[in-house]
Every structure is written in C-alpha cells, then in structure tokens.
Copies of this chain bind each other. A is one copy, B any other.
Amino acid sequence: MKKAGIIGGVGPASTLDYYGGIISGVREKSNSGDYPRLVIDSVNMAEMIGYISENKLDKLIGLLTGSIDHLAAAGADFAAIASNTPHIVFERLNERSKIPLISIVDATCQYAAQAGCRRAVVLGTRFTMRSGLYSGALERYGIEAVLPDERMQNQVHGIIFPNLEDGIVLPEDKAKLIEISGKLISSSKADALVLGCTELPLAIKPGDIDTMLLDTMRIHIEAIVREILSEAKS
C-alpha cells in the first residue's frame, strides 16, 4: 500500500472524517487485514484563513508547501489537502511538490461527469465561490456551474465560519443552507449540488435536498483510498 499524506486542520472536524473514512475505506476494499499507513500534518487554521482573507497568496503557498514537505519527509508517497478552499492555489502547489497531489476539485468534477451532471449549484466558502475554483473545472468537463449571488455567498460563508469549521451545526444555519440551495436549484434547473466545502456535509445530509449531492469530501476520500491501494508498494 502507498502511504498517504494529508494536510489537515482546515477544519479539525473534517480532518477527523478524512482519517476515519480513509482507514475504513481501505479496510473495506483490502482483504489483507492491514491498516493503511498515513500521516496527517495539521496546520494552524487561523494562520491559513488569515492569509486567504488578506489575499496573501504567497504566504498561503509557503504554508502549504511547508506542510507538503513535512508529509514527504514523513514518508508520504502522495498528498491531499483535506479542505476545498486551499485548492485556489493548487496548481502552484503541484508545481512545487516533490510528491503527487490529489485534488478534491478534479476528483469531484470527474465524479460529476461520470454521473451525467449537466448543471451544478456550487456552495462553499466565499473564497471558493468567488475564485471560480469549481466553475472553471466543471466547465472543462462540460458542466455548467451555478453560483449564489453575493448576498447569498455572504450568508453561506457566514455559516461556515465560525460555526461549521468548529463542528457546530445550528438548526437555523441548516435551514438557511437548505433554503438557499433549494432556490438556486429550482431557478436554474440544476441537477446537482456541489458541497464545495468539507464542512458543508455536517449540515446538508442526503435527503435534505431533492437533487444529487456531490459530497466533495466523500468523493475525495474515495480517490485517496484508490490511490493507497493502486499498487503493491508496501
């Protein structure tokens, strides 16, 4: 099995889901009885979000490149960032990284295309929605991206920070997210909803909304599990 490296801590709640999901995913798919070796480098979320908020992208790239180097030094054969937002600098990280990186955006777009999606509403942090992170990638797969207007973007972002990032799901936050998603889906006739922030599945669950949910974290974990099992490296 390959050893996975995970940049975690953004936020801690979804890092727990990645860890548990990777272990159980590998255990289900492998009959060896072995547990996967993996290393998680958990960064200071406050520092990282500060760089993104102030648009200090070079600082952000420095922080994430340092973390990838730590993972490689700890024996990781490949790495993945357990969060959507930092993927706004994914290409520049990929150029600098000594080990292959698995993108949550690419994994999600591939999955959406295979599932036959044509038009997808994208929710995420303000940084993810404004940067066009998913819009461009979905378009390359022939899928139209539908984004909330600025007011809705602020509402979604204000629910993710600080509540969801700290693992807190308030009933009124959940109701607001479902209301916004429902409006956008019905007005755009979208056939899918991208939960483009690893904390959104804490609030939006299968059955909450009558359309295909693209749980980016779940799709990313499956891609990581496949990579761990992709060759017989011990």
A43 engages B37 (CB within 8 Å): yes
Return chain B residues, CB-CB under 8 Å to A71: 74
Q: In this assembly, does A123 line the interface, its C-beta being within 8 Å of a C-beta of chain B?
A: no
Check B38 against A39 for contact (C-beta < 8 Å).
no
A:10-60 near B, CB below 8 Å? 12, 15-16, 19-20, 23, 32-47
A44 near B39: Cβ-Cβ < 8 Å: no
- Is A232 on the interface with B (CB-CB < 8 A)? no
Instruction: Tell me, rounded to whole Å, the shortest Cβ–Cβ distance linking A77 to chain B.
Output: 13
A130 at the interface (CB under 8 A from B): no
Which A residues lie at the B interface, using CB under 8 A?
A: 9, 12, 15-16, 19-20, 23, 32-47, 70-71, 73-75
- CB of B47 within 8 A of CB of A42, answer no
Specify which of B20, B47, B70, B74 is in contact with A16 (CB 8 Å cutoff).
Answer: B20
A35 with B40: CB separation less than 8 A:
no
Q: Which of A44, A45, A71 has the most CB of B within 10 A?
A: A44
Q: Are A42 and B38 in contact (CB under 8 A)?
A: yes
Besides the known contacts A35-B45, A39-B39, 19 further A-B residue pairs in the complex with CB atoms under 8 A apart: A9-B35, A12-B20, A16-B16, A19-B42, A23-B42, A34-B44, A34-B47, A35-B43, A35-B44, A36-B42, A36-B44, A37-B42, A37-B43, A39-B70, A39-B74, A40-B40, A70-B73, A70-B74, A71-B74
A42 to B35 alpha-carbon distance, docked (Å): 9
